[in-house]
Every structure is written in C-alpha cells, then in structure tokens.
Amino acid sequence: MELLTVSKLPASKSKKSTSSTSTSTPKKSRKKNPILGVDAEYGEDRFYRTAERAYYIAEARGFEPGYEMEDWLAAEAEVQS
C-alpha cells in the first residue's frame, strides 16, 4: 500500500497556495465544550479543581456520607470566585 503525499494528490485535492501578504499568524482554535459553553481546556481544568476542592472539604468533615452534593456545590462556589 502506497501512501499518497501532497505532491501525488490530484490537483483538485491538493492545497491551494495563497498569495496573501499578511504576516499575521493564525490563532490557535480552541474547541468549545457544548455543555459548558466554554473552552474545553478551561472547563476541564475547572472540573478538576472543583473535584479536588470537594475532596478536601469532605476530608475536613471526616468523609461522613450523605454530604457529597453539598461538598461539590461548596467547592464550585469557591472555585468560581
């Protein structure tokens, strides 16, 4: 099986050259998280910071069961501020 290189692609499939004189560099596109509506990287980082904070809140009260939601909401409030 032969791999096709750009030079071996048919003319209609090859990249078109642009004669733009602009020297600006293209911005790196970030993926948006469809649920959070924020950058995926930011949302993921925020999730892990919230989870870590919720763990420490639970640890401070001795991991008593039944308070998981309260711990998470308190952690979210702290991380958001």
> pLDDT tens digit string along 7-43?
554 555 445 555 555 566 556 566 665 555 556 666 7
- Residue 76 in any domain: the answer is yes
User: Residue 46 sits in which domain range?
Assistant: 30-81
What's the distance, CA 39 to chain centroid? Answer: 5
Higher-confidence residue of 34 and 1: namely 34
- Residue 56 in any domain: the answer is yes
Q: What is the pLDDT of residue 51?
A: 93
pLDDT tens digits for 35-72? 555 566 667 788 899 999 999 999 999 999 999 999 99
Token couple for 4: 């096709």
Domain tally, the chain: 1
- Residue 80 in any domain: the answer is yes
- Residue 75 in any domain: the answer is yes
pTM over 0.75: no
Its sign, for the CA torsion 15, 16, 19, 24, is negative
